Amino acid sequence: GDSVTQMEGPVTLSEEAFLTINCTYTATGYPSLFWYVQYPGEGLQLLLKATKADDKGSNKGFEATYRKETTSFHLEKGSVQVSDSAVYFCALAYDKVIFGPGTSLSVIP
Amino acid sequence: NAGVTQTPKFQVLKTGQSMTLQCAQDMNHNSMYWYRQDPGMGLRLIYYSASEGTTDKGEVPNGYNVSRLNKREFSLRLESAAPSQTSVYFCASREGVLNEKLFFGSGTQLSVL
């Protein structure tokens, strides 16, 4: 079946550090891939998406590339800020949308 | 400009009781979803409806039933609540399938004692 695996957290980084959150997926077809973010006390918001292999999604300094050969969609940011502290969810979508377990990120000054 | 509206926001049940969570969207979206969110487990898909008149099981459908009443409304029913169903429930919708983002309701905090 379809599933999404993410690196376990929590991840703690200092401000301006480089961020990578790993995401791999298992899919029976060719899904679209998403990263959602949940800030403390809020609902999920779309961060970025990619709809086909080799597409790169980007938003707010975050990037992720759809890698079909490695079934991955790793999230990266070159320089994190305290305001990036949140839980990040990787997801795949056909008619259904399946989320990974989430990775908690804390950025300290 | 309501978006996705869920009711109730909070609910406490006793084991064995039944209840229905209501969800309505005013964006004319075709697809609707029910998720539960538990600590450390992310959002798990319970049921979804890709279009009016269809419903399908997600990852964790046992103990739940759904009804797509019309294009706007998608309800989730717990026939005999169990403590394992204590969770935060989210309804979501999107215009179609594949590429569109999800719009989420504000969630229902359910406790089963």
Closest residue by Cα to residue B49 from B18, B26, B27, B75: B75
Q: pLDDT-derived band of residue A95, with 50, 70 and 90 as boundaries?
A: confident
CA distance linking residue B97 with residue B74, whole number of Å = 17
CA distance linking residue A60 with residue B24, whole number of Å = 31
Q: What is the mean pLDDT of each run of 10 residues along chain B (113 residues)?
A: 90 97 95 92 93 94 96 96 96 82 93 96
pLDDT digits (tens, 9 = 90+) for A15-51: 999 999 999 999 988 899 999 999 988 888 999 999 9
Identify whether the C-beta of residue B41 lies closer than 8 Å to the C-beta of residue B65.
Answer: no
- Residue A86 neighbours by CB under 8 Å, 6+ apart: A37, A38, A39, A40, A104, A105
Nearest to A98 among B59, B104, B105 (CB): B59
Contact call for B99 and A94, based on CB within 8 A: no
Q: What's the confidence (pLDDT) of residue B1?
A: 64
Cis, bond preceding B83 (omega within 30 deg of 0): no
Q: How far is B50 from chain A (nearest CA, A)?
A: 6
Nearest to A97 among B45, B105, B106 (CB): B45
Which DSSP string corresponds to A32-85? Answer: EEEEEEE-TTS-EEEEEEE-STT-EEEETTEEEE-BTTTTB--EEESS--GGG-
